[in-house]
Amino acid sequence: MSQLNKKYTYILGVPNFASYEPATALLRVPQEGSIDYVCIPEERLNRKKHSYTFPLYGVDYCLNAFGLESLREVDYIYTDYAREARWINSGPGYRKLDHDYIKLKLDFPRNKIRLVNHHDAHAASAFYPSDFDEAAVLIIDGLGSNLETQSLYKASRKDGLQLVERGFDWGIGRLYSLITGAVLPYGPEKGYGKTMGLAPYGAAHPGPVLKFNAHDEGMSSDYSEFFSRYPISRLVAEDVQRCIDREDALLPYFARAAYDLQLECERQLLRMADYAYKKIGSKNLCLAGGVILNGAANSRILEKLPYERLFCQPACSDMGVPFGAALWGYFNELADKKKNSVTVSMPHAYTGINYSQDYIKKLLDEYKIQATSSNPEEVAKLLSEGKVVAWFEGGSEYGPRALGHRSILSDPRKAETKDKLNSKVKFREGYRPYAPSILAEHAYDWLELKDTSPFMLQVVPVKKDKRQIVGAITHVDGTTRPQTVTKEANPNYHKMISAFYQLTGVPLVLNTSFNINREPIVETPEDALICSIGTAIDYLYLNGMLVDCGKYNQSSLVKQLVEKRTEKLDRQWQNILKKYCPLYDEKERDTFLTKENLIADWHRDFRAKTRLDEAVDNWLKNNHKILIIGTAAHTSCLYSYITNFPELNIIGYVELENKTGEKDQCPFYNKSNINSVDWTKVDSVLISTHEYQRFAVELAKKHSGNKQIFTLYDDSSDSLIYTLPGVWPMMNPDYTTKYQIKNQSTTSITASNIDFDFAPSETTILDRYGLALTYHWINADKDLFKGMHAIDPKSFEAQVRSLRQHFTLVTPTELINPKIDLPETVCLITIDDGLKGTFDHMYPILKQWQEKAVVYCCSLPLREKKVLNVHKIHMLQERWGLEKFRKSFYELLPSSFAGHNSREALTSTGINQDKLYPYDTPETREFKILLNYLLPYNQLTDILDKLFDKEFGSQKSAVDQIYMSLDDIKKCQDAGWDIGIHTDSHPVLSRLTNIEQEQEIKIPTDFFKSKLHLDKLHFCYPYGSSGTWNNYTKRLLKDNNFDSSFTLQRNIIKPKDISMRWEMPRYSCSDLFDKTNNLNTKVISALSGSD
């Protein structure tokens, strides 16, 4: 097809199916010369990671970049496909999302939408932008259009891309995804990089612990002994453990599992690259597909094989498919190959738009942010002084790596730099490495590098004599993942690193992506301000202007910026929908998706059964003679669940041997040898296997001639082995009873959330982790509270700001609700005792940020206007000091208790005294233990009443100053807070009799339910240390219909804690924040991070 006869041809690339990393690419193709292009990941624009949306923001962004006002000014849309080569319902078995409805309503001619095989698109993105005249092209990812997983192409400028061979069904990409999501706990966030970062820690542990038993041939890698093929990857290997708690990922088994997986990945890439070299003979290799993000595996190719040069597409994952689809469309369909003089190149990955200085200055003026003119040399000096600088310049990068246009930079010389970044900016697992940007001309002096690495897609050793010098970017195994920087590709960035080299003698800087936890990499100057001002980044370099972030680290400014951005995005979305989908109708969409998903579920689970039911009826009607080729487990399933299957005239059963993915016995038929089959007696061949259907069909074709071959499954169908047992009744009980076949479902570990043919899985309770912080006193500066140790409102606001930047803040009700779609990591602000400062100071701060908390209240102060003993103790000690308080107390204490040895007595209670009052002095701890844990409550109360009344006067008047009123509590409740129960009088529950415990729980429950009409009951154990409650306490909570209970056992909340509910851990705010209100990353390192 000839190119259109006009100045430019515009080709738009978009994803066909709902990917977790949607993107858009737009090519502007001239009559001759070089193709211009704009590419943008959707998450950079909608600010949602893994959004599974159709990239309308990206479409608008790309059209605006080239000055196009209408989608109809685009000549063609090129897209990939999932299972069927069609625009609508490309994956008939995958669940539909808003993405699919938008495609249906997109205002663009259907006859100008062209389809490209998924791997062909990857291959085009890898070869055409490279500077090679010819090359071998390897595509290795999780899954392509027709269940392909690994593909090899021969490429040249003259002949284009020629497919050589494909592998199907299983592959190293799917294996890597499965282990990440089903063995390691990183599936929900697609944490393949975390698995790779974890791997070196497993080298020291014995292994292997995972036996993959791969059967390799050419581009095929058969892992059927380890996991089942599409559509749902299930672990079928035995004795594989699963990491439930993220903090267990560094345990020997799981660290070794990551190491075993990484070794297998490197083995497979080496094997396939070697196969490609022997098959094609080129010294050049182009790589794409999600597995190519595994830089360690890529580097082994140059290290071990005769290749001289690699080109790795920077957007090598599915993010790059729209770019590749558009390129494939031009070079394979639109270009006139005889006359074509159009080229494309990719010397760098900066495919986003530039933001003008006028735009930036206007933005800074709007928010009264001062910026000074700056240069790369000034930034280099700041880095050499230990400052953290966010670097924003030009167009953004295409792909997941920050490459010096949207980067956070730091000094690479000290290993402590990592801790600073983790604690103040990035909040990520401590075991994960940081990467450098290094001057290309010095790279070979510092790194064991075989070829340039412009896109951070190689992992190579740091030279041994340099490792101590650059500890912040040297991983535990001595490696790093470099970006080699040239003057031609990024002159300003190169100039900055050169200046740093002149100052320090080190030709590299630490470079990590410009984002924070749960946020995509920044795209706009607004994003850059929000991220840098909202964290502990010291300076922001913004297109030649420098902002001192410390001057503007104000919660109100960040809040204003975020709200303005949200309003802008919402307004833009409505305009985009009207512009590109004018017939979009929400009501129609909801109906469409509901019905389509019913059909999709049926297609995936039962289409194969329906087809076979019809075929069986037809075969019986026509008295067909059937030969079965398949596996024992699958054939037994058909015999048991397909109506009239035993009545078929089966003249032979060829069992696939040495195919252990569908293991079982088939007692119904005697085995036949395929070489002994009398084919003249065969009318039809039934392929009875899901796992090995492709192999069985080839076997049948080889021997059967032109016989009819019946296959149950299309590329979207799941195996009846999994969809029928335990769900469908056995249809032939007379036969199955004879052989003791049971109707029970097969259970296995799955990781379906990694597959694009499924809607993104809502995070369930089994996936959730949490961080709960507890607060008590705040701003105790009034006369009554003079001397009290408390957090001040300014510090509390700083801590709230830090928490909400890195976590979603939730209440206990939301945490335990399995129907709420939450991120895998959340945070709870819990406030104990219901003190007045909670309402006076915490409530307005949280209200300003539109956040919620839970406050646990005792009923005694509200019922009887009495001060709790725990607070009498606090206030008397702070007013008098420990010595006076202790002396006064002992003067009133009966002599029988005067010599009480608290340490010996406490040991007998089973309470670990080392966990009590960790922030008090030993003397204070000793005395508090005596008061709260050992003395009889009635005598303790009598003495404290006398001392309190003497110093503070009437308890009744003091209560109103110390505690929230019911009106205060109701206002918190109206703002969405959970109101929890903290007993009646705040005793150590395990010291009480069963009857006393019942009263301590029943009295406040009845009181608060009657006053506040609570529909959810949440509890918090007074003091909260292990041993302060017992099994009877938990039974009482369950019997009284409580929904959760929190402790003060210091730990993160794990899925099993949420499932069990009665002993959920919390940290004190003092555990999590230092004196400057920075989060302690050693505590939260087990929670999910960003990069």
* Residue 796 pLDDT greater than 50, yes or no: yes
Q: In the structure, what pLDDT confidence band is assigned to residue 809 with cuts at 50, 70 and 90?
A: very high
| 949: containing domain | 869-956
Task: Cite the beta strand spans of 958-1089 per DSSP E.
Answer: 978-981, 1018-1020, 1044-1046, 1067-1068
How many whole angstroms separate alpha carbon 256 and alpha carbon 176? 14
Q: Are residues 702 and 839 in the same domain?
A: no
Q: What is the pLDDT of residues 714-748, one digit of tens each?
A: 999 999 999 999 888 888 776 556 555 555 555 55
Q: What is the pLDDT of residues 633-666, one digit of tens each?
A: 999 999 999 999 999 999 999 999 878 778 888 8
CATH label of the domain that carries residue 405? 3.90.870.20
Q: In the structure, what pLDDT confidence band is assigned to residue 58 with cuts at 50, 70 and 90?
A: very high
* Residue 933 pLDDT greater than 90, yes or no: no
Q: Are residues 899 and 880 in the same domain?
A: yes
pLDDT attached to residue 415: 79
* Residue 364 pLDDT greater than 90, yes or no: yes
Phi then psi for residue 448, to 5 deg, are -85, 75
Q: In this structure, is residue 744 part of a structural domain? A: no
Q: In this structure, is residue 180 part of a structural domain? A: yes
Q: What is the mean pLDDT of residues 16-41?
A: 96
Cβ-contact 390, 539 below 8 angstroms: yes
Q: Which of 117-131, 205-219, 949-963 has the lowest mean pLDDT?
A: 949-963
Q: What is the pLDDT of residues 1023-1047, one digit of tens each?
A: 988 888 999 999 999 999 999 999 9
Tokens of 380: 């280099």
Q: What is the mean pLDDT of residues 14-24?
A: 94
CATH label of the domain that carries residue 975? 3.20.20.370
Q: What is the mean pLDDT of the chain?
A: 89
Element (H, E) at 738: helix 733-738
Of 956, 990, 1008, the residue at which a domain comes to its end is 956
How many whole angstroms separate alpha carbon 164 and alpha carbon 120? 12
- The Cα-based distances of 10 to 4, 69, 185, 289, 548 in angstroms read 10, 13, 43, 25, 42
DSSP assignment of 3-44 equals PPSSSEEEEEEE-SS--SS-EEEEEEEESSEEPEEEEEEHHH
Q: What is the pLDDT of residues 249-306, one digit of tens each?
A: 889 999 999 999 999 999 999 999 999 999 999 999 999 999 999 999 999 999 999 9
Phi then psi for residue 559, to 5 deg, are -60, -40
Q: In this structure, is residue 746 part of a structural domain? A: no
Q: In the structure, what pLDDT confidence band is assigned to residue 886 with cuts at 50, 70 and 90?
A: confident
* Residue 756 pLDDT greater than 60, yes or no: no
Q: In the structure, what pLDDT confidence band is assigned to residue 975 with cuts at 50, 70 and 90?
A: very high
What percent of the chain is modeled with pLDDT above 70? 90
* Residue 758 pLDDT greater than 50, yes or no: no
Q: In the structure, what pLDDT confidence band is assigned to residue 909 with cuts at 50, 70 and 90?
A: low
Q: In this structure, is residue 146 part of a structural domain? A: no
* Residues contacting 209, CB < 8 A, separation 6+: 241, 253, 256, 257, 260
pLDDT attached to residue 736: 57
Tokens of 65: 């970049």
Q: Are residues 428 and 542 in the same domain?
A: yes
Q: Are residues 198 and 271 in the same domain?
A: yes
Tokens of 126: 């890898």
CATH label of the domain that carries residue 55? 3.30.420.40
pLDDT attached to residue 663: 80
Q: What is the pLDDT of residues 136-195, one digit of tens each?
A: 999 999 999 999 999 999 999 999 999 999 999 999 999 999 999 889 988 766 788 889
pLDDT attached to residue 3: 47
Question: CA 146, 150, 154, 156: dihedral to nearest 10 degrees?
Answer: 80
Q: What is the pLDDT of residues 447-495, one digit of tens each?
A: 999 999 999 999 999 999 999 999 999 988 999 999 999 999 999 999 9
pLDDT attached to residue 1078: 75
Q: Are residues 416 and 513 in the same domain?
A: yes
Of 956, 982, 1015, the residue at which a domain comes to its end is 956
* Residue 1091 pLDDT greater than 50, yes or no: no
What percent of the chain is modeled with pLDDT above 90? 70
CA angle, corner 430, sides to 426 and 433, nearest 5?
80
Q: Are residues 114 and 171 in the same domain?
A: no
pLDDT attached to residue 5: 62
Of 956, 990, 1021, the residue at which a domain comes to its end is 956
How many whole angstroms separate alpha carbon 39 and alpha carbon 26? 7
Place of tokens 């970062």: 197
Q: In this structure, is residue 570 part of a structural domain? A: no
Q: Are residues 952 and 986 in the same domain?
A: no
pLDDT attached to residue 204: 93
Cβ-contact 48, 115 below 8 angstroms: no
Q: In this structure, is residue 147 part of a structural domain? A: no
Q: What is the pLDDT of residues 83-101, one digit of tens each?
A: 999 999 998 988 899 999 9
pLDDT attached to residue 750: 59
Q: In this structure, is residue 299 part of a structural domain? A: no
Q: Are residues 52 and 121 in the same domain?
A: yes
Q: What is the mean pLDDT of residues 409-420?
A: 85
Provide the pairing of β-strand 284-288 with 309-312. Answer: parallel
Q: Are residues 173 and 266 in the same domain?
A: yes
Tell me which residue of 704, 733, 721 sits closest to 625, measured CA to CA.
704
Q: In this structure, is residue 595 part of a structural domain? A: no
Q: Which tops the pLDDT comparison, 928 or 1045?
A: 1045
pLDDT attached to residue 262: 95
Furthest CA-CA distance within the chain = 109
Question: CA 705, 706, 708, 712: dihedral to nearest 10 degrees?
Answer: 60
Question: What total number of domains does the chain contain?
Answer: 6
Q: Are residues 30 and 102 in the same domain?
A: yes
How many whole angstroms separate alpha carbon 368 and alpha carbon 565? 17
Q: Which tops the pLDDT comparison, 789 or 484?
A: 484
Q: Are residues 623 and 530 in the same domain?
A: no
Q: Which tops the pLDDT comparison, 893 or 371?
A: 371
* Residue 1066 pLDDT greater than 70, yes or no: yes
Q: Are residues 381 and 521 in the same domain?
A: yes
Q: In the structure, what pLDDT confidence band is assigned to residue 768 with cuts at 50, 70 and 90?
A: confident
